[in-house]
Amino acid sequence: MFPKIITFCCNWCAYPGADFAGISHFKYPVNARIIRVMCSGRVDPGLVLEAFISGADGVMVMGCHPGECHYEHGNYEAERRIKLLRYLFDKYELGGKRLRVEWIAASEGRKFAEVTADFVETVRKIGAFQEKAREILEVMKDTFYGERLRLALGAASRALDSGADGEKYEETLKKIAEEEMKKYRVLQTLRKEGELCVRVVAEKLGLSLRETFDCFLDLKHEGLIEEGDIGEDRYMIYGFVRGER
């Protein structure tokens, strides 16, 4: 079946909204399948990426309307993360529209059915993932499971509450995510191909020597790679540390 759609629904608004669509017999395509979570804020972007890696073609996160979250602000957290994911999906040509956040009240059965039908159609038009997508998704998963981006994402509401500039914060999140994507692409290359030097990795990934070396330094600092011998071209060889978390 194509497309396969996973919809994460919060227990308090969206899930009963979907129930209400059922009670009212509003029809929508069979492609959409629902997973219940207590709050849309529970939807870790890493889980969303794992769903894509496991074969989902589109993922929707549905929560309570702004201000109506059962847990105060979980829906805003969900929106912030999915927005960032969408940005990266577009940047890496995976199709940002495969991701959507929607607010569904318990009474909005019709909206649930309409939004679902529209989303299935949108994803159908985007089509299946390209061959290379899986590798990018894996890197993105590492990025969103990585400590640095999670620290910045997790601190967002705290920062905004104390007066931080929202737009600037969003730009910083994008910048961090892109840097981390580069870092984990480097790690993925080392993981796959064994020991390599900065020059070779830079060539493979089409990155400059400087940005590649920055990634190496970060990875070494985090204990994910270690220095090895110096090659004939005087470039130091680095290897991936086994047994990382």
Closer to another protein by Cβ: residue 71 or 235: 71
Instruction: State the Rg of the chain over Cα.
Output: 20
As measured in angstroms, the least distance from the Cβ of 73 to another protein is 6
- Closest separation between CB of residue 47 and another protein, Å? 6
In angstroms, the CA 168 to CA 152 distance is 13
Nearer residue to another protein within complex by CB, 26 or 213: 26
Measured in whole angstroms, the distance separating CA 5 from the mean position of its chain's CA atoms is: 16
Q: Rank residues 13 and 201 by Cβ distance to another protein and give the closer one.
A: 13
Question: Judged by CB, which is closer to another protein: 35, or 236?
Answer: 35
Cβ neighbors of 178 (< 8 A, separation 6 or more) are 88, 91
Judged by beta carbon, residue 84 or residue 198, the one nearer another protein is 84
238 phi and psi angles, rounded to 5 deg: -120, 150
228 Cβ neighbours under 8 A, 6+ residues apart:
195, 236, 237, 238, 239
Shortest separation between residue 45's beta carbon and another protein, angstroms = 8
Tokens of 75: 């829906």
CB nearer to another protein: pick between 61 and 207 = 61
Backbone angles phi, psi at 91, to 5 degrees: -60, -40
Instruction: Say if CB 124 and CB 2 are below 8 A apart.
Output: yes
CB of 78 to another protein, least distance (A): 8
238 three-state secondary structure:
strand
CB of 109 to another protein, least distance (A): 10
| Closest separation in Å from C-beta 244 to another protein | 13
Binding residues (CB under 8 A) for another protein: these are: 1, 4, 6, 11-12, 15-16, 18-19, 21-23, 25-28, 30, 33-39, 41-47, 50-51, 54-56, 64-65, 67-74, 77, 81, 105-107, 113, 145, 147-148, 150-151, 153-155, 157-158
Helices 74-91 and 133-145 pack at an angle, to 10 degrees, of 140
